Amino acid sequence: MYYETLKYYLDLFDNGEREFAYRAESIPEHAEWKKALRSRLREITGLDKCVPCAPKHEYGGEEEINGFRAEKHTLRTEPGVVMPFFLLRQEKRGEAACPVLIVPHGHGGGKRETLYYQCGLIREALEDGFIVACPDERGSGERREFPQQGDGEAQRRSNSHRELAQLGVCFGRTVIGGAVWDLMRLADWLLNLKEASGFLACAGMSGGGQQTLWFAALDDRVRAAITSGYFYGVRDALIEMPQNCACNYIPGFFETADMGELGALIAPRPFFVESGRRDPLAGKRGLDNVKEQLATAEKAYRLFGAKIVHSVHDGGHEWRGDGMRAFLAEARHDGA
């Protein structure tokens, strides 16, 4: 006999109400809701507790990876916190100002793996004149904590999110709060490059899709967002499956909002969602779970006369990239 508690939490969610459930019926109401929800999300993620500092930057040479010439850089984002990232540019650059694309990695590795798993989009972006940045999230890649450090395959593909989540909760911080703060500081640096045009996009898969969603929801400088393998409702994907990565769990979030509200915070900026028809991380209801969250976000987009692009493939938890190049081209054109 087992006396489980999971049903208790499901009942809490089902019988409760999200404080910032999306109900705006006009653009002024949307603006008021957006301001209030962003403030609350900054509080519960610990984003407001991150400590500003002088952005010390160092260049570490170049490396050839999967056919890319990757510049190695580090950027200090908080006192004592350093984010390594790869920077990729066209080898023959003209005088035109370059748009910027940040590609956060998923849970299976760090920035190096991004150059393999998202290589198609990155090559297309470089051909289209983008500057591309691939950072390591806290707890991943070169930012793994001591239990996961090492060069073995299992270690390289692991992360330290559980350790960071346990430490962070005692300081009122979360893994995603630190990740978004770091992306904001990376955006500061990238948009200050002399060749940067001011157009910033972000695209990621799985944990990278999570980072993209939260970053775009909390920072209007993200002019276009692509999230793949992540836009699921929390009941099916995080409460019924609490074995998912600790980076997904934020004190009070399940009483505050759902993923659809994060999507609504992005409105009316271009937003592309990619889903796998057989993605197990969507939960037992699969695409129905995704579509419910899309329906919430689309309410906000309709207020502005805008639409979300939803691309569905027949695979599982994987990145396909179909239509993303055209999406970014249109977003750049409309945002020029």
Mind listing the pLDDT tens digit for each residue in 195-228? 999 999 999 999 999 999 999 999 999 999 999 9
Q: Show the tokens assigned to 146.
A: 């001591």
pLDDT for 93 equals: 63
Residue spans of the chain under pLDDT 70: 92-95, 336
pLDDT for 95 equals: 60
Alpha carbon 194 to its chain centroid, in Å, reads: 26
pTM: 0.97
pLDDT for 334 equals: 86
Q: For residue range 30-58, what is the model confidence (pLDDT) as tens digits? A: 999 999 999 999 999 999 999 999 999 99
Pick the CATH number of 31-335 from 3.40.50.1820, 3.30.70.990, 3.40.50.2020, 3.30.1300.10: 3.40.50.1820
Q: How does the average pLDDT of the chain come out, rounded?
A: 96
Spans of all domains in the chain: 31-335
pLDDT for 194 equals: 95
pLDDT for 108 equals: 83
Q: What is the largest CA-CA distance in the chain?
A: 70
The enclosing H or E element of 109 equals none
pLDDT for 28 equals: 98
What angle in degrees, to the nearest 10, is found between the helix axes of 27-44 and 207-218? Answer: 120
Radius of gyration, CA atoms only, the chain: 19
